[in-house]
Amino acid sequence: MTEVNERVRRLGVLGGTFDPVHLGHLVAASEVCQVLGLDEVIFVPTGHPWQKLGRELAPAEDRYAMVVLATASNPLFSVSRVDVDRPGQTYTVDTLDDLRAERGPAAEFFFIMGADAMRGLGTWRNPQELLTLARFVGCTRPGHEMTAEMMADERFLRVEIPALEISSTMCRERVANDLPIRYLVPDAVADYIANRRLYLT
Ligand code: NAP
């Protein structure tokens, strides 16, 4: 009998509404990938994020398509449909369960997020279980810091990333005000938004 010792793959997971995906997301993924020596970063567009139900999102298939276009040129980036395809609201505990089922036991997950968003982790679904499913990587930007408590906890990692003051909200508002978003999002994403007439109002 041959025994195959499968190497544990270090997988970044960048979950996001990505409404739309922009260069800040791509720079964060690329920087964390390099600094933590990840084998891959999986972008996971949300289906129905429960904390953003107050406003209308672009359809999940459009947000997914934009992430596919944005990541196509980087062989270390991939896109997962687990959240788009799961009915109901999106919870990260389900995202990580589904990715574990897909990728098997020889995978270690690093969930990448803005350092300030990490402060809200306690309000996410099943926070205690969540912390057993992945390590959490806070990307620091000016004015966005982790708490001292998190800095001391080995389940939380901190990676400094080049600051890009771009947000999805800014991109949507610029489109609505007829201002350019080229150079804030990949060209293919800007073209997709124009062709699909997204964010016009
Ligand atoms: P998003 O707005 O699309 O952003 C995705 C990530 O990129 C966020 O962590 C965001 O951090 C970061 N980011 C945005 N702009 C950046 C920039 N210029 N430079 C560096 N990083 C930047 O996504 P989201 O709506 O916050 O959702 C993130 C994930 O959290 C999703 O997978 C969602 O399902 C999950 N979530 C789960 C629960 C739950 O399970 N109950 C609750 C809430 C969120 P910032 O937020 O700091 O901008």
pLDDT at 163 over 90: no
Which of 29-33, 43-47, 130-134, 161-165 bottoms out in mean pLDDT, i.e. has the lowest? 161-165
For the stretch 45-65, pLDDT in tens is: 999 766 666 778 999 999 999
My answer on whether omega of the bond before 20 falls inside 30° of 0, hence cis, is yes
Model pLDDT, residue 143: 65
For the stretch 124-143, pLDDT in tens is: 999 999 999 999 999 987 66
- Distance in Å, CA 4 to ligand 1 centroid: 37
Residue 80 near ligand 1, beta carbon < 6 Å: no
Model pLDDT, residue 148: 76
Of all protein residues, the one whose alpha carbon is nearest to atom 40 of ligand 1 is: 91
- Distance in Å, CA 200 to ligand 1 centroid: 23
Residue 164 near ligand 1, beta carbon < 6 Å: yes
Of all protein residues, the one whose alpha carbon is nearest to atom 45 of ligand 1 is: 114
Model pLDDT, residue 3: 53
- Distance in Å, CA 5 to ligand 1 centroid: 35
Model pLDDT, residue 115: 84
Residue 28 near ligand 1, beta carbon < 6 Å: yes
pLDDT at 1 over 60: no
Decide: residue 119, CB within 10 A, 0-12 exposed, 13-18 middle, 19+ buried. Answer: middle
Of all protein residues, the one whose alpha carbon is nearest to atom 10 of ligand 1 is: 114
Model pLDDT, residue 153: 78
Residue 116 near ligand 1, beta carbon < 6 Å: yes
Cβ atoms within 10 A of the Cβ of 201, count?
A: 6
Residue 125 near ligand 1, beta carbon < 6 Å: yes
pTM above threshold 0.75? yes
pLDDT at 152 over 80: no
HSE at residue 52, side-chain half, CA atoms within 13 A, is 15
CA distance 132 to 100: 12
Model pLDDT, residue 51: 64
